[in-house]
């Protein structure tokens, strides 16, 4: 790759690679993200390449970033036809080449079918993709993230060339303010204002940080962006550094993300070789470079002052604000911090313009940067929903559209399972009931419901979910992740945990509910950082919308949500065929019975691990709710 010495020279390199990309070329894109790699995408890619080389075909096999539809991996898309295949195995390769590539014939078993058995041919037609609006994820599935030429062929670094060739730093700051871009890491603070404060702060040196800590359970948006398009994040960071006057940057990324780190380090090296990182970038006198800092996996380090402490080599603990990092951050110097997805939006705003970005989303940002939620948001859609994975949707989209159109509805709905709630915002988010499914998803509207956007976690729950157990699970997680520095968070979570753990054992008291609400109010008002001030959301929201479940646990000592381990029972029904699988799998030998005879489960030996329930192929094992335990077992 030749080195660009001026903004115009960079534009010429970009145009050369854009012209070299043939949209009609035959390509096979295989998802190489972590999810698909775990399903065997690595060997599949190599086998594709070997088979094509052996046949001497003029076909390029591209190992791309995450396509989003993770549970269906490995995913394969044939271009330019757009034919979409799922759960592809090495043994399928000859048939794909012989039938689909050579003759245009489709392979039925590899096509996606929804719950109604409707078949979808092309990727863009699959319901999971059809209603998304991909901006940050637009290149995922089309480029190899390890190849700089691929990024350049998709207008990569064009925004940077435009900025350094035509604009002053202050103009870029104003552009981002007018765009209404708000932080995608959870707080939703206007990005442009952060830039403005950092730019105006006094300091002989300024820093810029990309927060890729992503500690929410089940969240992997930032990981997939870094794995699939690291140059996009770098370009956003370089533009931001020019705008605020930063000369040094850090990407704080979880050490558990090895592929993201590998791809990012390669991208940094490639960017230096291109001339867009380092000293005197493109001959403009602007210098900026980036280092990777690996985090140890502490949830609290997602908070910006705790993250700064960790980079400095100290224990990751938040500090009192003000002063905010924009004034006094890393090593006491002005510092701008934004998360991965926020940085990835910046090049698009420059390339496509402020008016384009503000046309997406909700609200009016012309009068205030806090006046709306603009652009798209990536969510990690998981739980009791048919289509799990990563979805990018415009701000303001109704929850119902995400869960039922993109997500394909509730798993096992034909067996009677129904929607109960969706938790947004990660462990500190609130649980939203079905009455608000038509509510728009944006920063302000979710807050009104007692939840939040967070970094983008979205967990769907069905009617077999106990909301008391949900609250207990997340409180226990947050209790372990609390740094312990401030009393409201440390002691509040401990006390909440004690109460909720008693409650799920059937030992709750009526006065517990008032205590939980009081604790939540104090934590919200008096905690040092956002972890503590939002930690009570799972409890307060479930108390608000599902109070009857708490009252039922207290009054009866039973769980009708079929989740509280001490309050449920597994039961073998008459549908049992006597296949013996459950008996063989049971770790405590609680299940007995002869071959082809109805089996029995001895409750005194059962530890309610659920292994038998998962293993049964005949739906012959049911989980009894509290009421059913009385009816069927007489307890």
Give the Å distances, CA to CA, from 176 to 231, 354, 456.
Answer: 20, 8, 22
Q: Check whether residue 597 and residue 617 sit in a common domain.
A: yes
Q: What angle do CA 504, 507, 512 make, to 5 degrees?
A: 90
Task: Quickly state the pLDDT bin for 225 (edges 50, 70, 90).
Answer: very high
Query: 68: domain CATH number?
Result: 3.40.30.10
Q: Determine, yes or no, domain membership for 479.
A: yes
User: What value does the mean pLDDT take over residues 290-304?
Assistant: 89
- Is there a cis peptide before residue 375, judged by omega within 30 degrees of 0? no
Q: Check whether residue 305 and residue 350 sit in a common domain.
A: yes
The answer on pLDDT for 297 being more than 80 is no
Choose the final residue of a domain: 357, 389, 407.
357
Q: Determine, yes or no, domain membership for 394.
A: yes
Q: Determine, yes or no, domain membership for 18.
A: no
The Cα 461–Cα 423 span in angstroms is: 8
Q: Determine, yes or no, domain membership for 596.
A: yes
DSSP count for the chain of H helices, then E strands: 27, 21
Give yes or no for a contact between 208 and 336, defined as CB atoms under 8 angstroms apart: yes
Q: Determine, yes or no, domain membership for 192.
A: yes
Nearest to 301 by CA among 262, 339, 345: 339
Q: Check whether residue 448 and residue 475 sit in a common domain.
A: no
Give the Å distances, CA to CA, from 622 to 196, 562, 594, 608, 625.
Answer: 59, 10, 20, 12, 9
Q: Check whether residue 118 and residue 219 sit in a common domain.
A: no
Q: Check whether residue 310 and residue 457 sit in a common domain.
A: no
Task: Quickly state the pLDDT bin for 416 (edges 50, 70, 90).
Answer: confident
The answer on pLDDT for 321 being more than 70 is yes
Query: 475: domain CATH number?
Result: 1.20.1440.230
Give the Å distances, CA to CA, from 232 to 158, 237, 245, 318.
Answer: 11, 9, 20, 29
The answer on pLDDT for 217 being more than 80 is no
The answer on pLDDT for 165 being more than 90 is yes
User: What value does the mean pLDDT take over residues 367-384?
Assistant: 92
Q: Determine, yes or no, domain membership for 618.
A: yes
Q: Check whether residue 210 and residue 325 sit in a common domain.
A: yes
Q: Check whether residue 270 and residue 335 sit in a common domain.
A: yes
Q: Identify the burial level of 235 via C-beta atoms within 10 angstroms of its C-beta, where 0-12 means exposed, 13-18 middle and 19 or more buried.
A: buried
Three-state SS string over 480-495 comes to HHCCCCCHHHHHHHHH
* pLDDT tens, residue by residue, 590-599: 999 999 999 9
The answer on pLDDT for 483 being more than 70 is yes
Instruction: Report the length, in residues, of the chain.
Output: 635
The per-residue pLDDT for 629 is 77
DSSP letters for 599-620 = -EE-TTT-----HHHHH-SSS-
Task: Quickly state the pLDDT bin for 455 (edges 50, 70, 90).
Answer: confident
DSSP 511: T
The answer on pLDDT for 211 being more than 70 is yes
User: What value does the mean pLDDT take over residues 363-375?
Assistant: 89
Give the Å distances, CA to CA, from 301 to 295, 313, 314.
Answer: 8, 12, 11
Task: Quickly state the pLDDT bin for 634 (edges 50, 70, 90).
Answer: low
The answer on pLDDT for 543 being more than 70 is yes
Q: Check whether residue 76 and residue 195 sit in a common domain.
A: no
Q: How many CA atoms within 13 Å lie on the side-chain side of 162? A: 17
The Cα 78–Cα 530 span in angstroms is: 45
The Cα 185–Cα 51 span in angstroms is: 43
The Cα 3–Cα 470 span in angstroms is: 54
Choose the final residue of a domain: 130, 164, 189.
130
3-state DSSP call for residue 456? coil
* pLDDT tens, residue by residue, 37-59: 999 999 999 999 999 999 999 99
User: What value does the mean pLDDT take over residues 296-324?
Assistant: 90
Choose the final residue of a domain: 404, 439, 465.
465
The per-residue pLDDT for 81 is 94
Q: Determine, yes or no, domain membership for 1.
A: no
Neighbours of 473 (CB within 10 A): 17
Query: How far apart are the two ends of the chain, measured CA to CA in Å?
Result: 74
Strand partners, 520: none
Query: 237: domain CATH number?
Result: 3.40.50.11540
Q: Determine, yes or no, domain membership for 167.
A: yes
- Expressed as residue numbers, the domain containing 587 is 565-633
The structure tokens 């940002």 sit at 365
* pLDDT tens, residue by residue, 557-587: 888 888 898 888 899 999 999 999 999 999 9
Give yes or no for a contact between 83 and 121, defined as CB atoms under 8 angstroms apart: yes
Q: What angle do CA 150, 25, 228 make, to 5 degrees?
A: 30
Phi, psi (deg, nearest 5) at residue 550:
-60, -45
The answer on pLDDT for 550 being more than 80 is yes
Task: Quickly state the pLDDT bin for 454 (edges 50, 70, 90).
Answer: confident
Task: Quickly state the pLDDT bin for 418 (edges 50, 70, 90).
Answer: very high
The answer on pLDDT for 630 being more than 80 is no
User: What value does the mean pLDDT take over residues 252-264?
Assistant: 94
Q: For the chain, how many structural domains are there in total?
A: 5
What average pLDDT is seen over the chain? 93
Give yes or no for a contact between 370 and 378, defined as CB atoms under 8 angstroms apart: no
Give yes or no for a contact between 51 and 115, defined as CB atoms under 8 angstroms apart: no
DSSP 61: E
The structure tokens 């757009």 sit at 82
The per-residue pLDDT for 178 is 96
The answer on pLDDT for 1 being more than 80 is no
Query: 570: domain CATH number?
Result: 3.30.70.20
Q: Check whether residue 173 and residue 264 sit in a common domain.
A: yes
The answer on pLDDT for 361 being more than 90 is yes
Three-state SS string over 225-284 comes to HHHHCHHHHHHHHHHHHHHHCCCEEEEEEECCCHHHHHHHHHHHHHHHHHCCCECCHHHC
DSSP letters for 399-419 = HHIIIIIIS-SBTTGGGT--E
Q: Check whether residue 186 and residue 223 sit in a common domain.
A: yes
Q: Check whether residue 189 and residue 298 sit in a common domain.
A: yes
Percent of the chain with pLDDT over 90: 81
Q: Check whether residue 227 and residue 90 sit in a common domain.
A: no
User: What value does the mean pLDDT take over residues 166-172?
Assistant: 96
């Amino acid at each position: 790759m030749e080195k660009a010495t001026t903004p115009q020279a960079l534009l010429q390199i970009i145009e050369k690679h854009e012209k070299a990309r043939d949209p009609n070329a035959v390509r096979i894109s295989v998802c190489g993200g972590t999810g698909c790699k775990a399903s065997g995408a690595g060997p599949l890619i190599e086998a594709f390449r070997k088979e094509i080389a052996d046949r001497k075909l003029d076909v390029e096999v591209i190992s791309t970033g995450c396509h989003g539809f993770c549970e269906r991996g490995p995913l394969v898309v044939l271009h330019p036809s757009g034919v979409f295949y799922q759960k592809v195995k090495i043994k399928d390769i000859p048939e794909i080449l012989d039938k689909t590539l050579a003759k245009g014939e489709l392979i039925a078993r590899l096509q996606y079918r929804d719950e109604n058995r409707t078949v979808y041919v092309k990727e863009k037609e699959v319901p999971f993709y059809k209603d998304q609006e991909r901006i940050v994820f637009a290149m995922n599935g089309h480029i190899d993230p390890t190849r700089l030429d691929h990024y350049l062929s998709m207008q990569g670094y064009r925004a940077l060339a435009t900025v350094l060739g035509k604009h002053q730093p202050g103009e870029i700051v104003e552009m981002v303010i007018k765009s209404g871009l708000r932080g995608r890491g959870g707080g939703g603070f206007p990005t442009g204002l952060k830039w403005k404060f950092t730019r105006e702060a006094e300091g002989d040196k300024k820093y810029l940080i990309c927060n890729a800590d992503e500690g929410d359970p089940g969240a992997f948006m930032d990981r997939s962006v870094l794995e699939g398009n690291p140059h996009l994040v770098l370009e956003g960071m370089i533009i931001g550094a020019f705008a605020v006057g930063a000369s040094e940057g850090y990407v704080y990324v979880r050490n558990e993300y090895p592929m993201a780190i590998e791809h990012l380090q390669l991208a940094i090296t490639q960017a230096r070789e291109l001339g867009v990182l380092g000293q005197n970038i493109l001959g403009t006198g602007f210098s900026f470079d980036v280092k990777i800092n690996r985090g140890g996996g502490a949830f609290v380090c997602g908070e910006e002052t705790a993250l700064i402490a960790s980079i400095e080599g100290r224990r990751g603990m938040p500090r009192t604000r003000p002063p905010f990092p924009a004034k006094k951050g890393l090593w006491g110097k002005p510092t701008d911090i934004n998360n991965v997805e926020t940085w990835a939006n910046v090049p698009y705003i420059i390339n496509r313009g402020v008016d384009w970005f503000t046309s997406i989303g909700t609200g009016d940002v012309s009068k205030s940067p806090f006046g709306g939620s603009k652009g798209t948001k990536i969510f990690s859609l998981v739980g009791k929903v048919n289509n799990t994975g990563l979805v990018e949707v415009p701000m303001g989209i109704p929850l119902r559209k995400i869960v039922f159109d993109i997500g394909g509805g509730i798993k096992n709905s034909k067996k009677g399972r129904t929607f109960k709630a969706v938790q947004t915002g990660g462990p500190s988010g609130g649980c939203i009931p079905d009455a608000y499914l038509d509510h728009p998803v944006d920063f302000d509207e979710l807050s009104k419901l007692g939840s939040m956007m967070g970094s983008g976690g979205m967990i769907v729950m069905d009617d077999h979910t106990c909301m008391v157990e949900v609250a207990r699970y997340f409180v226990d997680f947050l209790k372990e992740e609390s740094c312990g520095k401030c009393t409201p968070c440390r002691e509040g979570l401990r006390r909440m945990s004690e109460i909720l753990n008693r409650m799920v054992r059937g030992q709750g008291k009526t006065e517990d509910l008032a205590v939980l609400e009081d604790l939540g109010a104090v934590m919200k008002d008096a905690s040092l950082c956002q972890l503590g001030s939002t930690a009570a959301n799972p409890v307060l929201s479930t108390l608000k919308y599902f109070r009857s479940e708490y009252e039922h646990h207290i009054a009866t000592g039973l769980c009708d949500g079929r989740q509280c381990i001490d309050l449920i029972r597994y039961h073998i029904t008459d549908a049992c065929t006597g296949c013996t699988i459950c008996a063989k799998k049971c770790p405590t030998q609680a299940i007995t019975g002869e071959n082809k005879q109805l089996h029995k489960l001895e409750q005194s030996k059962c530890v309610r691990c659920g292994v038998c329930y998962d293993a049964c192929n005949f739906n012959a094992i049911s989980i009894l709710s509290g009421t059913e335990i009385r009816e069927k077992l007489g307890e």
